[in-house]
């Protein structure tokens, strides 16, 4: 591929802006870039045709690719069988995410389209957010803020009483379920706070920050705080349910900024209502957006809830555009792709 002939569609959104993609690609290849703005996160994503997580924009994608674009860089654009069939010139799709869940990989292979992604783009942001959630849950920061700033009430001073005061991280036994790019960063941060970090991850070898334990049950029995960092697979779906929560010491805290379906939310609500758990902090849910009838809403004095913001930093958007643009540059120069799946 000669560099001057590359035609790129930058199908960004309100997070990874089309202009970020455009500028990053322009710095690495001589390309003609067309911009398309999709609605996420102001508009929800979800299943589109046969792909799991995408903006509902097949028609817009087909129209924007109709002038013979060979390269598509996107985060939420649906790359379905229909889109691929309508875009015979398309040769490369680069997804600005940690996984190409918006791409029909089988169809891409049939249409001779390479697919790349952007691993590790949000590991640091998600790790920092996880620690923030943990501190907020341990020290009741959102609840105290809501009373004072929202209601003008000094009643949050009750969190200074022994009965209602929170836990501190120093010397606290904290268990991490998973030790990948996010979990390992959380472990390093918690060690700096002086927490007694324990890790359960049967797939990780070598040195870790903290103490490795041999089973999930052992981790739960020994931890006052649990944070989830496992990938969502058929084996890990529902990993933490009623049985697992019952193993935690009474008054423990759970944090999940990984994937909602790792956790049985009904069992979590039962544990919070019974006092088995004193608090929880969640950034991801079994269903997103969180349904209005979720029991979690009635537990506002014990939960910290955020709308899947763990990866939402400007650095993540810029890094995603840069990783994607580097792949476009390699492809334009005829070099091997670094993060290719097909």
pLDDT, one tens digit per residue, over 114-166 is: 999 999 899 999 999 999 999 999 999 999 999 999 999 999 999 999 989 99
**Mean pLDDT within 68-77:** 97
- The pLDDT tens digits for 207-220 are 999 999 999 999 99
Q: Is the pLDDT of residue 5 over 90?
A: no
What per-residue confidence (pLDDT) applies to 130? Answer: 98
Clarify whether 14 is annotated catalytic: no
- Same domain? For 222 and 298 the reply is yes
User: Of 219, 217, 159, which Cα lies nearest the Cα of 187?
Assistant: 219
pLDDT of residue 342: 79
Write the CA distances from 95 to 16, 35, 82, 242, 322, integer angstroms: 11, 15, 18, 37, 12
Residues 323-329, mean pLDDT to the nearest whole number = 97
Shared domain for 113 and 127, answered yes or no, is no
Let me know whether 141 and 86 are in one domain. no
Beta strands in the chain (DSSP E): 6-12, 31-37, 46-48, 51-54, 71-74, 92-95, 114-116, 173-177, 196-200, 211-212, 225-228, 252-256, 277-282, 303-305
Residue 308 is among the residues annotated as catalytic for this protein: yes
Contacts of 218 (CB under 8 A, 6+ apart): 200
* Residue 95, domain CATH: 3.40.50.720
For 140, the domain range is 123-305
Check pLDDT > 80 for residue 172: yes
Judge whether 250 lies within some domain.
yes
Do residues 165 and 157 touch, judged by C-beta distance below 8 A?
A: no
The answer to whether residues 76 and 15 belong to one domain is yes
Q: How much is the average pLDDT of 99-107? A: 96
Domain match, 197 and 57 both: no
Shared domain for 74 and 162, answered yes or no, is no
Instruction: Examine the pLDDT at 1 and tell me if it is beyond 70.
Output: no
**Nearest CA-CA partner of 68 in 112, 25, 113, 8:** 8
* Catalytic, out of 7, 288, 295, 318: 288
CB atoms under 10 Å from CB of 161, counted, come to: 8
Domain match, 169 and 214 both: yes
5 against 173, higher pLDDT = 173
Residues 61, 8 within the same domain:
yes
CA 225 – CA 129 distance, rounded (Å): 16
Q: At 108, is the pLDDT very low, low, confident or very high (cuts 50, 70, 90)?
A: very high
**At 4, is the pLDDT very low, low, confident or very high (cuts 50, 70, 90)?**
low
- State the pairing for strand pair 51-54/46-48: antiparallel
pLDDT at 316: 98
Q: Which of 95, 38, 89, 36 has its CA nearest to residue 66?
A: 89
- pLDDT at residue 169 is higher than 60: yes
For residues 201 and 91, membership in a common domain is answered with no
CB 10 within 8 A of CB 32: no
- Mean pLDDT for the stretch of residues 260-285: 97
* Residues 297 and 328 both lie in one domain: no
> What's the whole-number mean pLDDT along residues 273-287?
97
Q: Are residues 148 and 22 in the same domain?
A: no
Tell me: do 144 and 253 sit in the same domain: yes
Q: Is 270 among the domain residues?
A: yes
Q: Choosing from 22, 259, 276, 302, which is the catalytic residue?
A: 259
User: Could you read off the pLDDT of 224-240 as tens digits, one per residue?
Assistant: 999 999 999 999 999 99
Instruction: Say if 342 falls within a structural domain.
Output: no
Q: Average pLDDT in the 182-211 region?
A: 97
| pLDDT score of 190 more than 80 | yes
Rounded Cα–Cα distance for residues 268 and 280 (Å): 8
Residue 20 has pLDDT above 60, yes or no: yes
228-257 burial by CB neighbour count: b if 16+ within 10 A, else e? bbbeeeeebeebbeeebbebbeeebbbbbb
Active site residue 70: no
Q: Output the six-digit token pair for 95.
A: 């997804």
User: What span, in angstroms and rounded, lies between the C-alpha atoms of 193 and 30?
Assistant: 47
Give the model's confidence band at 2: pLDDT under 50 very low, under 70 low, under 90 confident, else very high.
Answer: very low
DSSP for 129-187, written as a single string: HHHHHHHHHHHTHHHHHIIIIIH---GGGGGGSTTT----STT-EEEEE--SHHHHHHH
Q: Is the pLDDT of residue 251 over 90?
A: yes
How many angstroms separate the CA atoms of 50 and 38, rounded?
Answer: 19
Q: What is the total count of domains within the chain?
A: 2
Q: In what order do the strands lie in the sheet with 277-282?
A: 211-212, 196-200, 173-177, 225-228, 252-256, 277-282, 303-305
Residue 339, in any domain of the structure: no
Pair of tokens at residue 48 = 């589109």
Let me know if residue 340 belongs to a domain: no
Cis status of the peptide bond prior to 289, with omega within 30 of 0 = yes
- pTM equals 0.92
């Amino acid at each position: 591929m000669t560099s001057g002939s590359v035609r790129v569609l930058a199908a960004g959104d309100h997070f990874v802006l089309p202009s970020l993609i455009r500028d990053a690609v322009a710095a690495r290849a001589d390309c003609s870039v067309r911009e398309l703005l999709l609605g996420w996160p102001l508009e929800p994503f979800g299943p589109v045709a046969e792909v799991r997580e995408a903006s509902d924009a097949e028609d817009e994608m087909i129209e924007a690719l109709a002038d013979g674009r060979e390269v598509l860089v996107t985060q939420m654009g649906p790359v379905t069988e229909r889109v691929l069939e309508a875009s015979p010139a398309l040769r490369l799709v680069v997804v600005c995410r940690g996984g190409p869940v918006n791409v029909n990989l089988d169809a891409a292979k049939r249409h001779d389209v390479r697919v790349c992604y952007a691993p590790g783009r949000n590991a640091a942001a998600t790790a920092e957010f996880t620690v923030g959630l943990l501190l907020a849950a341990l020290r009741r920061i959102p609840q105290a803020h809501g009373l004072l700033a929202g209601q003008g009430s000094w009643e949050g001073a009750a969190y200074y009483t022994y009965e209602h005061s929170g836990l501190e991280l120093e010397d606290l036994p904290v268990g991490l379920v998973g030790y990948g790019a996010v979990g390992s960063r959380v472990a390093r941060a918690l060690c700096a706070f002086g927490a007694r970090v324990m890790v359960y991850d049967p797939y990780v070898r070598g040195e870790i920050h903290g103490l490795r334990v041999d089973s999930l049950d052992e981790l739960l029995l020994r931890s006052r705080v649990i944070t989830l960092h496992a990938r969502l697979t058929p084996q890990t779906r529902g990993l933490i349910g009623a049985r697992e929560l019952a193993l935690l010491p009474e008054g423990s805290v759970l944090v999940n900024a990984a994937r909602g379906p790792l956790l049985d939310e009904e069992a979590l609500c039962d544990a919070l209502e019974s006092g088995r758990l004193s608090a929880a902090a969640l950034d991801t849910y079994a269903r997103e957006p969180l349904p209005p009838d979720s029991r979690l809403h009635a537990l506002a004095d014990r939960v910290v809830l955020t709308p899947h913001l763990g990866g939402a930093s400007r650095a993540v958007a810029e890094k995603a555009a840069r990783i994607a643009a580097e792949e476009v540059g390699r492809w334009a120069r005829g070099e091997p792709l670094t993060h290719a799946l097909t």
